[in-house]
Amino acid sequence: MGPFDWLPHAPLEAMQLDWLNGVELAVLRLDRIDPLISGNKWFKLTEHLAQARQAGANGIISLGGAYSNHLHALAAAGKRFGFPTVGLLRGHPHDTPTVLDLKACGMHLHWLGYGGYRARHEPGFWLPWRENYPDFYPVPEGGGGMAGALGCGGLIEQARRQLSTVDWADYDAWWLAAGTGTTLAGLVLAEAGAHPVYGAMAVPDDHGVAQNVSALVQGGYELLDASRGGFGKVDPLLLEFIESTEQACGVPLEPLYTGKALLALKQQIEAGRFVPGTRLIFLHTGGLQGRRGFTA
């Protein structure tokens, strides 16, 4: 496998919105790095792929749901860079727009059912898969873990070298959606205390984001609840907000992560958390392919 020396470009753009109340906002658009390999997923994968290569692996095996942005990016990367991929899926066989893309990219799929998928953290889960695919490297759900975080460190540099395009000399903090908290941990590591990182949690507390993050980094971040009643729960106010944001500044959001994260920022600004003049970078983590699940 590899080497994979693709360093995609994520544009940094100013966001003009009528609720900013003097706060300045720029968005680092990972949704625009590639039509297929979108968002934080490529960055989370890079270090895993490097480790797979070092281990002499000939392919990657990973897991996720039927709308998984992670599996989508992995399958597309496998197709683009010519390595085989295996996806272990939650639930029973059914076609979603995402699953059709996985198949079209040549990913080999196994459906684990719901109980089978829940067993993914149990010791021995990987054993049969290692036997079936001895030269495949396992990547955890969502491309997480320390390797996933390290791969995201490069995002800081992407933003820093474009600050002049939004007429900034510096910025004050990052704002992004957190699902496992891996991307957030990557920013915290790379910032090394220089700027705080705010994570708007798209999942409720019991998903263990706080534990995941504190296992990877110490301090330099804050987690806030942005789940709006549960992962995947969508309400009219959220959908209206997504629609009006796209109309106001042309930035498309999806309802699971990026929409909830930006809406949480609006609420925090309204509550007076940031003084006028504060410069925030919103990390657009992509995931727009998953929107098809809501319109289909």
Ligand X SMILES: Cc1ncc(COP(=O)(O)O)c(C=O)c1O
Binding status of residue 285 toward ligand X by CB under 6 A: yes
CA gap 14, 19 in Å, rounded: 14
**Rounded to the nearest 10 degrees, how much is the dihedral formed by the CA atoms of 118, 122, 128, 132?**
70
**Rounded to the nearest 10 degrees, how much is the dihedral formed by the CA atoms of 260, 152, 33, 67?**
-50
Vertex 265, ends 264 and 267: CA angle to 5°?
65
Per the listing, tokens 């496992």 go with 180
CA gap 82, 95 in Å, rounded: 24
Binding status of residue 158 toward ligand X by CB under 6 A: no
With CB under 6 A as the contact rule, the residue among 182, 227, 245, 289 that binds ligand X is 182
Which strands form 108-111's sheet, in the order they lie side by side?
108-111, 85-89, 59-64, 136-138
Q: Which stretch binds ligand X (CB under 6 A): 86-94, 108-116, 173-181, 227-235?
A: 173-181
With CB under 6 A as the contact rule, the residue among 190, 245, 286, 289 that binds ligand X is 286
Q: Which stretch binds ligand X (CB under 6 A): 83-91, 110-118, 182-190, 266-274?
A: 182-190
With CB under 6 A as the contact rule, the residue among 13, 32, 39, 251 that binds ligand X is 39
CA gap 283, 175 in Å, rounded: 6
Binding status of residue 245 toward ligand X by CB under 6 A: no
DSSP annotation of 208: -
Task: State which residue has the least CB distance to ligand X.
Answer: 287
Binding status of residue 289 toward ligand X by CB under 6 A: no
Q: Which is nearer to ligand X, 168 or 245 (CB)?
A: 245
Residue 137 CB-half CA count within 13 A:
21
Least separation in angstroms between CB 276 and ligand X: 28
Least separation in angstroms between CB 260 and ligand X: 10
Binding status of residue 255 toward ligand X by CB under 6 A: no
Binding status of residue 171 toward ligand X by CB under 6 A: no
Q: Name the phi and psi angles at 80, rounded to 5.
A: -65, -45
For 236, residues 6+ apart whose C-beta sits below 8 A from its C-beta are none
Q: Which stretch binds ligand X (CB under 6 A): 165-173, 178-186, 224-232, 234-242?
A: 178-186
What string marks each residue from 197 to 226 as x (binds ligand X by CB under 6 A) or -?
------------------------------
Residue 268 burial (CB < 10 Å; 0-12/13-18/19+)?
middle
3-state SS, residue 62: strand
With CB under 6 A as the contact rule, the residue among 65, 151, 179, 259 that binds ligand X is 179
CA gap 216, 188 in Å, rounded: 9
What string marks each residue from 102 to 131 as x (binds ligand X by CB under 6 A) or -?
------------------------------
With CB under 6 A as the contact rule, the residue among 85, 98, 158, 183 that binds ligand X is 183
Binding status of residue 62 toward ligand X by CB under 6 A: no
Interacting residues toward ligand X by CB under 6 A: 39-40, 69, 142, 177-184, 257-258, 285-287
